[in-house]
Every structure is written in C-alpha cells, then in structure tokens.
Structure 1
Amino acid sequence: MNFVSAFGRLSLGQVRGIATTPAKFIQTTPCLFAEPLKRKKRIDPSIVKARDDRKKKKIEKQIRKLEKNSRQMKPIDECEAPIHLFDKDPQYVRPAVKLSEEVLEGRILLEKSWAKYRRDQHLRDLQMLDRIAFSQQHALDELRKESEELYQEAIQVDFTLLPFNAVGPVNTPKIDDYEAPDGDYVDVSRQW
C-alpha cells in the first residue's frame, strides 16, 4: 500500500478522489486514506441570533422602502410645466379682454332667451304630467261607475311590477329575568 501511495503522490499530485481505469485495478489518491474531519467552530447562539436579526431588519427596511416608493407616482415630464412659467412674467399673463357694448348686450340676450326656453320646456313637462294624472283619474272614475270590484282591483299596488326582496334582522321579545353580563372577569394570574 505504501508503494502505491508513494507513486500516487509522484504521478498525480494532490488530487482528491478515486480514479478507476480498466477493470484490472483501482487506483486511489493518498488524500483519502486518513483525512481527519474539519471541526466546526462553535458559535455563541446569541451571536447567531443577532446576525439573523440584522439580516431580517435589513430586509424589512428594504421592503418598507419599496412600499413607500410604490405609492409615489412616476413623474411624467411631458405633463409638467417648467417652473419659470409659473412666475408672474408679463409675457405669460393674458391681458384682460375689453368687451364691447354690443357683445355684452348679445350675451345678456342669449342668457335671457335660454332661460325662457328652459322655463317653457319645464311648463310643458308639468302640463304633460297633469294631463296623464287627470286621464288616469278619469279612467278610474269611469271604472268605478261600471264596477266597484274592478275599481278596487285596479287601485291595489302591484308588487310583482318591480320585484324586490329585503331580508333584515328580526326583532325578538326580551327575556324576562335575564341578567346581562357586565364584562367582569376573574384575575387568575399568580401573585409572586
């Protein structure tokens, strides 16, 4: 065995592993003969915990930063006006337009004619509603002259016209001699 290991060092150098060649023999390197295992260094659990806490805090800080930035809108340069335009520069201030008497009079007449048109339209709507209500009442009066039973059926509310279901809380009568709890509790913690 020593002979093989000596040749192994000369020919292959310090290569670790098992090399197989044709089925007649197996060649091994000296590193696998008796290598001691590396000892793990014992680390204080508090140091490990502190290290993990630092990593956790760093990740949480990054998450908070990302959440904070997610609420901010990205600026759109095309929609923002340059700051110098906001200054009270005379070239950017529009002069007050002086309207002639004819234009002012025309605007006033236009507003008056619009108000008259809207008033007439409102009156036509009210008259149409009055005619409908009068026609309905006249038809009910004629129906009452013909048959009281048909009239009573006609004035009944039709609940199937607009289907509507409402389910709400039900009222229950109070329970006699029921004492509601006050929310008191018994402290069962130990006294040291």
Structure 2
Amino acid sequence: MRSLKRIWTLHSGKAVVINEALSNKWSFLHGSTVIQEGTLFHRTNVIRAVSPHAVCSVLFCSARLPQTLPFRGGHWQTALLALGASLPVRAQPQKKKKKVDVKREQAQKDRMKKKIKKLEKAAPELIPIEDFITPIKYSDSNRARSLPPLSFEETERRVLLMKKWSLFKQKQAQAEKKAIQTLVEAQQEALKELRLESEELYQAAIRRDEGLFPFERDGPDYTPPLPGYDPPEGKCVDITKVYTQ
C-alpha cells in the first residue's frame, strides 16, 4: 500500500482540492502542528468550496501512483499549491451601468424637436441700428453726486458774478459788431471809388481768391508743445457688435 495525499489549498478565494499529480515538498499547518509531506499527489476531480480562511488539511488514501508531473509549466502559470495573489489593478472598478429608460429619452428628443420647430417658425431678429438708440445712462437726468447746500452769501456772490460776466460779454459783442460794420462800410466806399477809376481793377478786386481755402492755422493752444515729444501711435479696439441671424 502506498500513501496518497490529497492537499487542500486556497485558490481564487476558495479551498480547492489539487487535481494534478505534483512532486514537491510542502509544509501544511494543521491546527497547531506543522506536517511536512513530500511525495506524489494523485489526480482527483473533487472540489469543495469552503471559507478562504479555512485551514489546509491532509488526507491519506491508497492508490496507484501516476507518472510525475512538473510543478510549474512556465513563469506565466501560477503554482496550484501556492497561495496566488492577483496583480494590483491600477484602475477604478467599473461603475454600475445605469438603466436606460427608452421612454424618457424619446420624450426628451420630442421636446427638442418641438423647440427647433418653434424657433424655425419665428421671424428672424432684425439687426438694431445703434445710432438711433439712446443709451439709458444718457437719458437719466438724476444727478449722481450730491453737493452740499450753499450759503446765502455764496449764492449772492455767484449771482452778481454771473451778471457782471453777462454785461462784459454783451459789451464785447457790441464792440465787435461795430468794428465789423465800420470795416464793411469802409470796404464798400473804397470799392465805389475804385470802380469810378477803373472797371477792370474793380472786377479784379471782387474776384474770389482761390488760394484762400483750404485755410489752416495753428493755435492758440492752452499749453505750449513739448520740444522733442514723440506722441504714441495708440491702438484701435474694434467694439462693433456682430449679430447672427
């Protein structure tokens, strides 16, 4: 009689009976005693699922020993008698697929189609002419800054100052009108005398001066120009609104 060992080992989270004849020496923990066995194992198809933390047991029976087989076929295969650990998964586990409600999706598509039809039926929006629209900030007559009330003396002083200024500008305008009228009368008198002397000279005097226009002049300026100042060119920012139909 030859002893036959059936070895229970953890494989993929379950205790499974080894189903290949293997040759190697192993140590199994049975209770508190370490049992070392090292011979051949007989092929069997018995598989029993137990807790992953179950203790491996060794059973003995008699049978004819089969031909020995190697422990591992290659580096890519996991040993059946070893506690194999899966490779670390470097990814998030797959999320649970949501149940697709066909009726709800169809209702959403129908609502979108109705909105598109409604927009197609609406008249195209006209492009507004901004020059004809007065901004609200310009039409608002409310003063944003509140001024302190003036005293009676300050009010009287400003009124008298305004009256004096008005009188001064009135006299200035009258003097300018009088000077212009005097010059025009003198010009007309000179043209009459010139016409009596020569008609050709009179026509040449009243002829339009083609070199008078365009008329250009500089000043007077509030501040004198700075010598050697190079003004910057600046930049142009286009703020024109673009409307799409």
TM category (shorter chain) comes to 0.3 to 0.5
Q: Greater helix share, 1 or 2?
A: 1
Q: Greater strand share, 1 or 2?
A: 2
Higher-RCO chain (CA-CA 8 Å, sequence separation at least 6): 2
TM-score, normalised via structure 1 length = 0.32
TM-score, normalised via structure 2 length = 0.26
